[in-house]
Amino acid sequence: MPRRSSPYGRLDRVRKIHVIGIGAGDPDQLTLQAVKAIKDTDVFFILDKGEVKSDLVRLRRDMLETHLEEGTYRLVEARDPERDRSAGTAAYSPAVGDWRSARADIYERLICEELGEDESGAFLVWGDPALYDSTLGILQEVLERGKADFSYDVVPGISSVSALVARHRTGLNRVARPVQITTGRRLAEGFPEGVDDVVVMLDAHQAFREYADQDIDIYWGAYIGTPDEILASGPIAEAGPRIERMRAEARERKGWIMDTYLLRRRPRADGDS
């Protein structure tokens, strides 16, 4: 495989890893920095989540084929370990820890066996690597084990949160007011205190239903940035049932779903927003 000149000017022989945020799904969301990092990469590591989510692998392949010449890079795939999603609240964190360690085993093997000392590898991360993604923590765990020697950098990407509010033509927060990002599991325990704008991720059980009797609007999106994108918004009491129906139909059709939403409490009568 011919070597390309590196825009990063890499001269050392230490393995290099790029953690590249590739946006929420739209190939046009790749930043110029992400494209430069892609062109600096010799080996791309992709974790295959099985046939049901094969379109996620295809989207990554399409991005690479758009920006790289055939034969100038290698693509190495490995099967993503299954995570125990049946764990209750008390066992949730240990279950996630076990899954991340299993992923670290795979990352370590890929780096040691598939990446030469003078080569650069990359992990293509959906959205932004710093927001609700495990890649950075897993790479740090691999380094701490001491078997794989490498350095890594991080290329930020457009997160699903940014893409969501852009598609709904609204802001993430309001003037002089905070915004909080949380999970469906946390939202089910109660609406965060002192916050009127809450972004919810990883909600498999539509926890927003618990707030249908309150003056709260929802801005929801699934498969954001992809051809399958679905959007809905409005008061939870009105939009909630429609979202549940659309979500169930989409999940049945594709076999999986990735969605997120913003909850926005309407200003109270006293003028406080």
Does the domain formed by 161-265 have CATH 3.30.950.10? yes
Phi, psi of 186 (to 5 degrees): -75, -40
pLDDT at 133: 93
pLDDT score for 27: 87
* pLDDT tens for the chain, residues 1 to 273: 544 445 454 445 689 999 999 999 888 999 999 999 999 999 999 988 765 667 888 888 989 999 999 889 999 999 888 766 565 555 667 788 888 999 999 999 999 999 999 999 999 999 999 999 999 999 999 999 999 999 999 999 999 999 999 999 999 999 999 999 999 999 999 999 999 999 999 899 999 999 999 999 999 999 999 999 999 999 999 999 999 999 999 999 999 999 999 999 998 765 554
Amino acid identity for residue 81 in this structure: P
Query: Fold for domain 15-158?
Result: Cobalt-precorrin-4 Transmethylase; domain 1 (3.40.1010)
pTM: predicted TM-score of the whole model, two decimal places:
0.87
pLDDT at 93: 76
The residues facing 235 across adjacent strands are 217
- Could you tell me where the beta strands, DSSP code E, fall in the chain? 15-21, 43-48, 74-79, 120-125, 150-155, 179-183, 197-201, 216-222, 230-235, 259-265
The three-point CA angle 155-127-29 to 5° equals 80
Q: What is the pLDDT of residue 90?
A: 59
CB 108 within 8 A of CB 5: no
Which ranges in the chain are annotated with CATH 3.30.950.10?
Answer: 161-265
Distances, alpha carbon 192 to alpha carbons 174, 209, 267, in Å: 16, 15, 16
Element spanning 248, H or E: helix 236-254
Residues of the chain with CATH 3.40.1010.10: 15-158
